Amino acid sequence: MQRIAFKMKLKEDQKQAYKDRHDKIWPELKKLLKDNGVSEYSIFLDEETNTLFGYQKVQGSGSSQNLSNVDIVRKWWDYMADIMEVNLDNSPVSIPLEEVFYME
């Protein structure tokens, strides 16, 4: 099991829209994540900086960050592009974070 963390950026005043969309995450997207080894996935918001912190527990060597070739993922990116900082393909600007401490 690997733990993966990354940060993304939410646009100003989009907290509620982001939360609402994730509260209604598409079942087929959730299934895809689970089928690809993502057993836990949390996203936290630092409201002071609008920085989103994502954390996943993943079985195997992949993560949600490796599913860019799947149509439902690209549709989700398009759906979220108006409220997040994104790349030219509408994927979220996502910066991997290095784990420097872990306590079990």
**pLDDT digits over 35-83, tens only?**
999 989 999 999 999 999 999 999 976 666 678 889 999 999 999 999 9
Predicted pLDDT of residue 67: 84
Domain ranges of the chain: 2-94
Note the pTM of the prediction, 2 decimals: 0.89
DSSP string, 33-100: HHHTTEEEEEEEEETTTTEEEEEEEESSS--GGG-TTSHHHHHHHHHHTTTB-B-TTS-B--EEE---
2-94 belongs to which CATH class? alpha beta
What sign does the dihedral 29-41-67-94 (CA atoms) show? positive
Predicted pLDDT of residue 63: 61
Active-site residue list: 22
Burial of 69 (0-12, 13-18, 19+ CB in 10 A): exposed
**pLDDT digits over 22-44, tens only?**
999 999 999 999 999 998 999 99
Predicted pLDDT of residue 104: 87
